[in-house]
Amino acid sequence: MLKKTIIITGSIILLFAGSLFAIPYFFKDQIKAKITDAINRKVDAKVSFADADLSLFKNFPNANVTIEKLAIINKAPFEGDTLVALGELNLKMSIKELFKGDNEPINIDGISSKDGLINIIFNKDGVGNYDIAIKDDSETKEDSKSKPLALNIQNYKLENFQFRYFDESSKIKMLIDSLNHEGTGDFAASKLDLNTKSTAKISLDMDKVNYMNNVALTLDAILGIDLEKSKYTFKENKALINQLPLEFDGFIQLVDAGQEYDLKFKTPTSSFKNFLGVIPAAYAANLDNVKTTGDFTVAGFAKGLYSDTTVPKFNIEIASNNASFQYPNLPKSVQNIVIDTKIINQTGILNDTYVNLDKLSFRIDQDVFNAKANIKNVTQNALVDAMLKGTINLGNLSKAYPVKLDKPLSGILKADVTTQFDMQSVEKSQYQNIKNAGIMSLSGFKYTDENGKSMNISTAEIAFNPSRVNLKQFKAYTGKSDLSITGVLENFYGFVFKNQNLQGNFNLTSNQLAVNDFVTSEEKPKTATTNTTTESTKATKTEAMKIPAYLDCTLTAKANTVLYDNLTLKNVSGKLIVKDEKLTMEKIKTNIFGGSIGLSGAVSTKGKTPTFDMDLGLNQVDIAQSFTQLDMLKKLAPIAGIVNGKINSTIKLNGNLDAHELTPDLKTITGDLLGQFLSTTINSSNSTLLTALTSNIKFLDLNKINLNDLKAAITFKDGKVNVKPFNIKYQDIQATIGGTHGFDQSMNYNIKFNVPAKYLGTEANALISKLSAADAAKLENIPVNALLSGSFSKPKITTDLKAAATNLTNQLIQQQKQKLVSKGNAALTDIINKNKKAGDTTKTVIPATKAEAQTKAKEEVKAKATDLLNNLFNKKKKVADTTKTN
């Protein structure tokens, strides 16, 4: 019997569990339809959601509907703007609600959501994007009763929300991030107490000026809610702004014109720890053991209507008198602290708000610092009147306050400055309306960064004049470098308050500048384990170097020595212009490599890939040094490394730069080079190519070649260098050189020699020695071609010396033929004349025609010429004929 009971009970449990799994599938489509119907009835916007699921386990014994990735996108006039985006929305309800008919509303008992965004926008006309409810005056009361969803909420919860607010007309921007909020109460009742808990971080900007940045807010409150009157009353509550405690009293009520405020707030205690609590915890550290004297209070009220045209009247007073604090384990304290600040609006018009910082004062040791400021007309054209006066020993800051510094600061900051200006004049650069006076200085300042590089400022002084800010002096040293800078900041206030570009003109002088002192070394990724993830690799990747977009200034520089990589530049001077993420260089000059280099051009980092465009002028520069130490020149003319002497050259080039080091990407550069050699000789032993060339062409002695005043022109593009043909002379040999090579050291060159026959070797000289001096002088120079291929380190050289020998032989044959033909004609005439008898007047009998006679004579001459040529070239010799002719 017991066994049967257990089996029945188990079966019921399994059936019940199975039903809990199965029922959602029957009602899923019904839930989706009701959600879609509810949205379409109420919302004039583009609404979408990925899916809607029903679960009977998530909030058992209640049912739970989950809507995934709900998005509400505005229509005109906010076409495409996201109003609401929810990662997940959960609706809790009783299971019995699932069995209601299509026309019966489903009652929702609880709502929760996470990973959401609410984006509220007001355009210039004051229209808000949240007003998406469908307005239909024809809707009857009977229709209104037939609603797919009804709210009977007992609790709600929001996790990880972000709330954005932007008013285009007033330029107010607010961001509430990391918002977590939950509340419990019976919304079915017209009056209820809602128990809420909230945490968030808030940022606030007004007309590009930041007033709060990630300020942590916490509020635990019981709100008395009157739903009929739309009135919300603060009862028990506790708020924290960062660590500053506040308590509220009063109410907020929604009315037709807006929201009615009647609120008061104050700090529950007057301890000066309240002031330290305003500072974010990351910077204020633990306040438990801080010793304080004196008080700090915040109190105020807001009363009136918040509407399209008005704000509540309000008064916020922040006060402290003769207070002090000292952190444990720190040797110094901050004394005589006085704060007297008021933020007031007495009219309900936002522009009439004014801020009075009547006094801010403190002392560390004997150094006293004072400040005051007044700001009014805040939304239309803020008027600022401020003063700073006092001394701060920067070395004492970390001794009195827990500033997190890897390396301690040192130096004395002094200020005695007054200023009066309006934001409109700043925005329009009407500096004549700005009144400045005073001096701010810094001396003995030392700062060391996380890489161990230190900056020492011996003296820096800024003078505030009516129309501008003058950098009267700035003297500093770091590493091997020293700096002295003077100049003018044209729009200091526009840069500080209006995000304008920083405009200025500066002069820099230096005895020595080491570029490496101003370049931050890259941290190498840690290699503690071999399983390096993609994410960690990305984290260690450095960002590309960028010229700051906010700079719009000119720097005229002069340095006796500049150390760059392994180069030492002397007497460097020129002008640098920085604007629109572009560095323009004008008339840059330096002495280096025994001569001088002039440079003009530009570097731009505005695009995705940095680019450059430059003109270089080399004057009396040592070839061996420049073309071996500068990688770019070495690629352009690798043969120049074995040339001793000087060069004058102009180089025009442009291309892309490496994004991280801003060095030329040789594969992309395009341009041309024109050079003239001065007092130059060749050291062929330093070159594999020239050694191979001289071994193939015996008559060539490169060490005796003089390249003085030689001019050469090259062009380069797509990693290829084209050398335009140029002429050189070696003794009485003429040569023309031209061709191409690649940055990969591959080459294809042609050298055309015009060589006197005497250089073609011993055999050629033996032939020439058999000629008379007159005949030898008549020989023409012989062309010899040499083709250079392969690479500079592994050259392949071919010549046509055999063809040159053939050329010489042909010249000799032709020369001897002509000579023998001439002798043959003379011999024929002699033979004819010798056959005549004295006094014989008859014509000599000769062949039938003159042509026959000439032919006969030529055959005889040819035979004799052949014999002569055979003798000349040491070919087959005739046996001497000793028979005498009678």
What pLDDT is recorded for position 883?
39
Beta-carbon contacts of 606 under 8 Å, excluding residues fewer than 6 positions away, are 549, 580, 581, 582
DSSP-derived secondary structure letter, 133: B
Element (H or E) spanning 144, and its range?
helix 141-145
Contact 518, 545 (CB under 8 A): no
What pLDDT is recorded for position 523?
45
What pLDDT is recorded for position 771?
64
Residue 98 has pLDDT above 70, yes or no: no
- DSSP for 777-828, written as a single string: HTPPPEEEEEEEEEBSSSEEEEE-HHHHHHHHHHHHHHHHHHHHHHHHHHHH
Closest CA to 794 of 720, 688, 693: 688
What pLDDT is recorded for position 652?
92
Three-class DSSP category at 498: coil
Contact 384, 371 (CB under 8 A): no
Domain ranges within the chain, ordered by starting residue: 7-133+148-169, 683-799, 805-831+849-877
Residue 705 has pLDDT above 80, yes or no: no
Q: How far apart are CA 477 and CA 455, in angstroms?
A: 6
pLDDT band at 357 (very low <50, low <70, confident <90, very high): very high
What pLDDT is recorded for position 503?
85
Contact 410, 398 (CB under 8 A): no
What pLDDT is recorded for position 363?
95
Contact 263, 303 (CB under 8 A): yes
* Per-residue pLDDT tens over the stretch 171-180: 888 999 999 9
What pLDDT is recorded for position 859?
59
Element (H or E) spanning 38, and its range?
helix 2-42
Beta-carbon contacts of 301 under 8 Å, excluding residues fewer than 6 positions away, are 250, 263, 264, 265, 314, 315
pLDDT band at 556 (very low <50, low <70, confident <90, very high): very high
Looking only at the bridges linking them, the beta strands covering 291-293 and 258-266 are unpaired
Type of residue found at 251: F
Most confident of 355-359, 516-520, 687-691: 355-359
Q: How far apart are CA 85 and CA 605, in angstroms?
A: 37
Residue 447 has pLDDT above 70, yes or no: yes
> Which residues make beta-bridge pairs with 189?
none
Average pLDDT rounded to a whole number, residues 360-371: 95
Question: Which of 46-60, 144-158, 402-416, 726-740 is the least confident region?
Answer: 144-158
* Per-residue pLDDT tens over the stretch 15-38: 434 444 444 544 566 666 666 666
- Percent of the chain at pLDDT > 90 equals 27
**Average pLDDT taken over every residue of the chain:** 78
Residue 140 has pLDDT above 60, yes or no: no
- Give, in order, the Cα–Cα distances in Å from 389 to each of 68, 320, 338, 422, 559: 59, 19, 15, 21, 36
Looking only at the bridges linking them, the beta strands covering 502-514 and 551-564 are parallel
What pLDDT is recorded for position 2?
44
862 against 616, higher pLDDT: 616
Most confident of 10-19, 369-378, 399-408: 369-378
What pLDDT is recorded for position 799?
80
Question: Which of 19-23, 257-261, 725-729, 835-839 is the least confident region?
Answer: 19-23
pLDDT band at 818 (very low <50, low <70, confident <90, very high): low
Closest CA to 367 of 399, 339, 341, 344: 399
Most confident of 158-167, 237-246, 686-695: 158-167
444: left (phi over 0), alpha (psi -120 to 50) or beta: left
pLDDT band at 821 (very low <50, low <70, confident <90, very high): low
What pLDDT is recorded for position 778?
61
857 against 693, higher pLDDT: 693
DSSP-derived secondary structure letter, 877: P
Residue 843 has pLDDT above 60, yes or no: no
Q: What is the CA radius of gyration of the chain?
A: 48
What pLDDT is recorded for position 133?
75
Average pLDDT rounded to a whole number, residues 61-68: 78
What pLDDT is recorded for position 281?
67
What pLDDT is recorded for position 564?
77
490 against 613, higher pLDDT: 613
Type of residue found at 196: T
Contact 368, 391 (CB under 8 A): yes
Contact 676, 711 (CB under 8 A): yes
Most confident of 494-498, 548-552, 730-734, 870-874: 548-552
Most confident of 73-77, 106-110, 464-468, 835-839: 73-77
Question: Which of 55-69, 368-382, 497-511 is the least confident region?
Answer: 55-69
DSSP-derived secondary structure letter, 576: E
